[in-house]
């Protein structure tokens, strides 16, 4: 047993140090011998950044820093055109916003097949957002991330203070106010709805339509929510991290990947063997740190069973949001195995939304991350996204 442990530690150390030679494999079993297995190769995008990944694949990249006016600088990225058709005129602007425990990497990690680059190839002017607190943002006042006060913000703050200046910048650069499509995943859909409700005039002026992927206005008491509730009670400030360690551990061999996927399944829904093995390192490495206060707002929604603003300890009342006040055209895509954004909750949202133009698309055997990592994206997800975009184009 001791000898096996020594061998395991040696292999892990060797692969961690030299793993840059080969870091992705097309089969789970190959990860155990990834340095020599022909099913494995080196992908320079792993552990890279949004700007570098975009440029690695030959796309132009622009970076902007937005002052939220409320404590944070936000770095956002733009793919103004596709190298496939660089001279295409009148490109429609689309803004891609990540959810909790994530960042703009989400939309580019899978390279040319990623949502951002695919949309660019389709003729869109693609903008990638970042929420306060993550790797691509910083404090205006030099606040220390180690301090609890740094993480004192909610989804309401992101919607009210962060989104408006970002949309104003995009409108100024593109000269297309009111033409922006907002595509959000997970908590970014929550953020978008709060923005429409709380900033009614501003959203009407800037946003043409919403596309919500894995929409969250209501959420069930999943194992993930239970863990968050415990961490909040213990007084933690944050959850998650931007680190390569989990990816290195999961990549030791096939069985280690199976354990990691099983953990993901517990939190986000069954993968149904739909995760491409060569993309799993990106799924694990794409995480980021998140304020527990922001995540606690989702826990509060679980407990109240209503879409609501954050309720501080000691507040005598809770501000509930009415989805009938979401009036921007809204198109939602949900996986029927999504544990966080369930199909039943999406149906409830569809019934309550005040949008005159609204539609719900459902995908069998998709969990909360299959919208980005799935073997059948081209036949299951992309056609639905394309249909929503076509409908928006006709508005």
Is the confidence at residue 6, as pLDDT, over 90?
A: no
Is position 83 within any domain? yes
Q: Render pLDDT for 100-155 as a digit per residue (tens, 0 to 9).
A: 999 999 999 999 999 999 999 999 999 999 999 999 999 999 899 999 999 999 99
Q: What is the pLDDT of residue 318?
A: 93
User: CA-CA distance, 364 to 380, in Å (whole number)?
Assistant: 8
Q: At what angle do helices 187-198 and 292-304 cross, to 10 degrees?
A: 80
Residue 123's region, left for phi above 0, alpha for psi from -120 to 50, else beta, is left
Per-residue pLDDT band for 69 (boundaries 50, 70, 90) equals confident
Is position 36 within any domain? no
Hey, is 335 helix, strand or coil? Answer: strand
Is the confidence at residue 13, as pLDDT, over 70?
A: no
Per-residue pLDDT band for 316 (boundaries 50, 70, 90) equals confident
Burial class (CB in 10 A: 0-12, 13-18, 19+), 143: middle
Per-residue pLDDT band for 1 (boundaries 50, 70, 90) equals very low
Q: How many CB atoms lie within 10 A of CB 313?
A: 4
Distances (CA, A) of 5 to 17, 63, 71, 249, 379: 18, 46, 48, 15, 44
List Cβ neighbours of 367 (8 Å cut-off, separation of 6 or more): 265, 268, 269, 270, 271, 272, 335, 337, 338, 339
Is position 304 within any domain? yes
* Cα of 339 vs its chain's centroid, Å: 15
Is position 274 within any domain? no
Is position 270 within any domain? no
Helix (H), strand (E), coil (C) string for 82-100: CCCCCCCCCCEEEEEECCC
How many separate domains does the chain show?
1
Q: What is the pLDDT of residue 384?
A: 98
Instruction: Determine the straight-line distance between the first and last CA of the chain, rounded to whole angstroms.
Output: 66
Q: Which of 74-78, 242-246, 312-316 has the highest mean pLDDT?
A: 74-78
DSSP 161: I
Burial class (CB in 10 A: 0-12, 13-18, 19+), 71: buried
Per-residue pLDDT, averaged over 63-90, amounts to 94
List Cβ neighbours of 15 (8 Å cut-off, separation of 6 or more): 34, 35, 248, 251, 252
Per-residue pLDDT, averaged over 326-342, amounts to 98
Is position 319 within any domain? yes
Is the confidence at residue 52, as pLDDT, over 70?
A: yes
Of 148, 138, 300, 313, the residue nearest 237 (C-alpha): 148
Contact 72, 139 (CB under 8 A): yes
Residue 152 in tokens: 């004192």
DSSP 106: G
Per-residue pLDDT, averaged over 267-275, amounts to 95
Distances (CA, A) of 133 to 140, 144, 185, 342, 368: 12, 11, 17, 27, 22
Contact 392, 332 (CB under 8 A): no
Is the confidence at residue 12, as pLDDT, over 80?
A: no
Per-residue pLDDT, averaged over 170-190, amounts to 97
Domain encompassing residue 219: 43-242+286-393
Is position 138 within any domain? yes
User: CA-CA distance, 206 to 220, in Å (whole number)?
Assistant: 32
Is the confidence at residue 89, as pLDDT, over 90?
A: no
CATH number at residue 192: 3.40.50.1820
Q: How many CB atoms lie within 10 A of CB 64?
A: 14
How many CA atoms does the CB half-sphere of 14 hold within 13 Å? Answer: 12
Average pLDDT for the chain? 94
pTM above threshold 0.85: yes
What percent of the chain stands above pLDDT 70? 95
DSSP 145: T
Per-residue pLDDT, averaged over 364-387, amounts to 98
Is position 272 within any domain? no
């Amino acid at each position: 047993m001791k000898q096996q442990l020594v061998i395991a530690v040696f292999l892990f150390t060797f692969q961690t140090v030299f793993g840059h030679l080969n870091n992705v494999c097309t089969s789970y079993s190959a990860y155990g011998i990834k340095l020599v297995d022909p099913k494995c190769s080196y992908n320079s995008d792993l552990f890279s950044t949004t700007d570098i990944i975009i440029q690695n694949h030959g796309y132009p990249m622009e970076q902007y820093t937005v002052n939220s006016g409320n404590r944070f600088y936000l770095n956002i990225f733009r793919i103004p055109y596709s190298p496939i058709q660089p001279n295409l005129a009148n490109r429609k602007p689309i803004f891609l916003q990540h959810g909790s425990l994530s960042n703009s990497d989400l939309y580019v990690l899978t390279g040319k097949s990623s949502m951002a680059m695919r949309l660019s190839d389709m003729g869109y002017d693609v903008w990638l957002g970042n929420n306060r607190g993550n790797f691509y943002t910083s404090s205006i006042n030099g606040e220390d991330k180690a301090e609890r006060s740094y993480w004192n913000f909610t989804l309401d703050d992101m919607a009210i203070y962060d989104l408006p200046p970002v949309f104003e910048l995009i409108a100024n650069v593109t000269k297309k106010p009111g033409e922006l499509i907002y595509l959000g995943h997970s908590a970014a859909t929550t953020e978008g709805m709060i923005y429409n409700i709380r900033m009614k005039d501003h959203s009407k002026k800037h946003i043409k339509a919403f596309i919500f992927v894995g929409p969250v206005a209501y959420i069930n008491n999943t194992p993930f929510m239970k863990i968050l509730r415990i961490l909040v009670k213990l007084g933690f400030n944050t959850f998650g991290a931007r680190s390569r360690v989990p990816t290195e551990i999961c990549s030791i061999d096939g069985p280690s990947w199976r354990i990691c996927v099983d953990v993901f399944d517990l939190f986000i829904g069954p993968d149904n063997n739909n995760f491409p093995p060569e993309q799993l390192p990106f799924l694990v490495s794409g995480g980021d740190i998140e304020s527990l206060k922001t995540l606690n707002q989702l826990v509060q929604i679980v407990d109240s069973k209503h879409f609501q603003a954050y309720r501080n300890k000691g507040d005598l009342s809770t501000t509930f949001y009415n989805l009938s006040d979401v009036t921007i055209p809204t198109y939602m895509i949900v996986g029927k195995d999504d544990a966080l954004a369930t199909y039943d909750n999406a149906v409830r949202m569809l019934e309550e939304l005040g949008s005159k133009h609204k539609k719900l698309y459902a995908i069998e055997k998709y969990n909360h991350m299959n919208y980005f990592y799935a073997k059948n994206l081209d036949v299951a997800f992309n056609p639905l996204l394309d249909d929503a975009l076509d409908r928006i184009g006709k508005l």
